[in-house]
Amino acid sequence: MDDRRVLSGIVYVLRNRLQWKDAPKAYGPHKTLFNRFICWSRLGVFDRIFAALTEQAGRSKRLMIDAIHLKAYRTAASLLKKRLFSAISDGQKVA
């Protein structure tokens, strides 16, 4: 499975707030998208991608995201327990 296609599928699902099973077939099996998202999150792949994009843009190491429009689901709290957000779960201050 092509990693770029999987990454595009993950971004599509997250951007459109879809359930994994509702991902278009063009991105591959929904189970693959979900499993790679979990694995890459735990390995810090997304952290490295965002850090590289920030450096490329010539901005500081601190990146602020306005999350007023985001909606947290009940399952969002369990992501910290599963250590998918390493900066928060490791006790580092996030600004």
For residue 15, give every residue at least 6 positions away whose Cβ sits within 8 Å of its Cβ, in sequence order, or none.
Answer: none
Q: Is residue 82 part of a domain?
A: yes
User: How many domains, the chain?
Assistant: 1
Q: Is the pLDDT of residue 85 over 90?
A: no
Q: Is residue 94 part of a domain?
A: no
Q: Is residue 95 part of a domain?
A: no
* φ and ψ of 46, to 5 deg: -70, -35
Domain extent at residue 57: 3-89
pLDDT tens readout for residues 44-67 = 998 888 888 777 777 665 656 665
pTM of the full predicted structure?
0.59
Task: Please tell me the distance from the alpha carbon of residue 65 to that of residue 5, in angstroms, as a whole number.
Answer: 25
